[in-house]
Amino acid sequence: QVHLLQSGAEVKEPGASVKVSCKTSGYTFTDYYTHWVRQAPGQGLEWMGWISSNTGATNYAQKFQGRVTMTRDTSISTAYMELNRLTSDDTGMYYCVRDRHADYWGQGTLVTVSS
Partner 1 sequence: EIVMTQSPLSLSVTPGEPASISCRSSQSLLHSNGRNYLGWYLQKPGQSPHLLIYLGFNRASGVPDRFSGSGSGTDFTLKISRVEAEDVGVYYCMQGLLAPQTFGPGTKVDIK
Residues contributing to the site for partner 1 (CB under 8 A): 35, 44-47, 49-50, 59, 61-62, 95, 100-108
Please say which residue, 15 or 107, places its beta carbon nearer to partner 1: 107
Q: Could you tell me the smallest distance in angstroms from the CB atom of residue 42 to partner 1?
A: 11
Distance, in Å, from the CA atom of 70 to the CA atom of 66, rounded to the nearest integer, reads 11
26 backbone dihedrals φ, ψ, rounded to 5° = 90, 0
Amino acid letter for position 64: F
- Which CB sits closer to partner 1, 92 or 108? 108
Q: Shortest gap between Cβ of 101 and partner 1 (angstroms)?
A: 5
Nearer Cβ to partner 1 (47/69)? 47
CB 62 → partner 1: shortest distance, Å?
A: 7
Q: Which residues of 81-114 are buried (b: 16+ CB within 10 A; e: fewer)?
A: bebeebeeebbbbbbbbbeeeeebebebbbbebe
We find the least distance from the C-beta atom of residue 37 to partner 1, in angstroms, to be 8
Nearest to 73 by CA among 38, 37, 30: 30
